[in-house]
Amino acid sequence: MLKPLVVANWKMNPATSREAKKLFEVTKKAAAKARTITLVVAPPALYLRELAKGRAGGRVSFCVQSAEASAGGAHTGEISMRQAKDAGASYALVGHSEVRARGMSNTDAGRQVAAALAANMRPILCVGEAKRSPSGAHFAFVAEQLKAGFEQVPASKLSDIIVAYEPVWAIGGEETMSPREMHEMAIFIRKTIVETHGPKGISTRVIYGGSVNEDNADEMLRDGDVSGILVGHVSVDVARFTALLSTLSNI
């Protein structure tokens, strides 16, 4: 069985490289005790190279929070997948809702997934609706995000991609959606990929993000039909993240 994946999305934190190094040291120690999980840290891109230095073959992997599909050129302020890989990232978040909110389209997400694969990185495609509707329109919304995100993905690469279901309404608080609802969505996500890409679609990993903390992570992993979690604000709080990892040591 695959070890559960824990992705620590530090977002735009911490404020200095010095603090980032400190946070990483403590995170690394906590991860060394949590041998039953695979830890991926997504720091601001500026800190990637420094943190990844000397970590080749180590237990913690790195992820870029956002990178462009283009290989280079006139894209002021952006970085490419290749540059992120060169700086030490082996995973790439694609289409996080906070990036989509700044204008990224489903088509852009599809291009970035393909570019991450071409750079030998594992894309973590983030999908999720802003709000739920009694008519179930959120399922169609997520299906559109998945279809565009997987458009350029050959069946042979399906097991290299991770889908992170992050309902926007559940981000930034203290309460996740219920594991039962997550279970339903995980089935829907796999069904959608199987419909577009055939039976190998079942091999794509599904993880959950949105207010995961030290009290609810374990339950989500056990009952939510997911093989990982994407943690935001709790991942930059040393005490809380250490507690979260230790609750997973029996999984």
State the residues that interact with ligand 13P by CB under 6 A.
9, 96, 166, 171-172, 209-212, 230-234
Q: Kindly tell me which of 204 and 216 has the beta carbon lying closer to ligand 13P.
A: 216
Q: Which residue out of 96, 138, 197, 233 is catalytically annotated?
A: 96
Q: Kindly tell me which of 9 and 204 has the beta carbon lying closer to ligand 13P.
A: 9
- Residue 150 near residue 112, CB atoms below 8 Å: no
Q: How far is the CB of 168 from ligand 13P (least distance, A)?
A: 9
Q: How far is the CB of 166 from ligand 13P (least distance, A)?
A: 6
Q: Kindly tell me which of 82 and 138 has the beta carbon lying closer to ligand 13P.
A: 138
Q: How far apart are CA 224 and CA 218, in angstroms?
A: 10
166 is catalytic: yes
Q: Kindly tell me which of 11 and 183 has the beta carbon lying closer to ligand 13P.
A: 11
Q: How far is the CB of 173 from ligand 13P (least distance, A)?
A: 6
Q: How far is the CB of 231 from ligand 13P (least distance, A)?
A: 5
Q: Kindly tell me which of 60 and 171 has the beta carbon lying closer to ligand 13P.
A: 171
Q: Which residue out of 166, 197, 214, 233 is catalytically annotated?
A: 166
Q: How far is the CB of 68 from ligand 13P (least distance, A)?
A: 19
Comparing every residue's Cβ against ligand 13P, the nearest one is: 232
- Residue 155 near residue 195, CB atoms below 8 Å: no
Q: Which residues are catalytic?
A: 96, 166
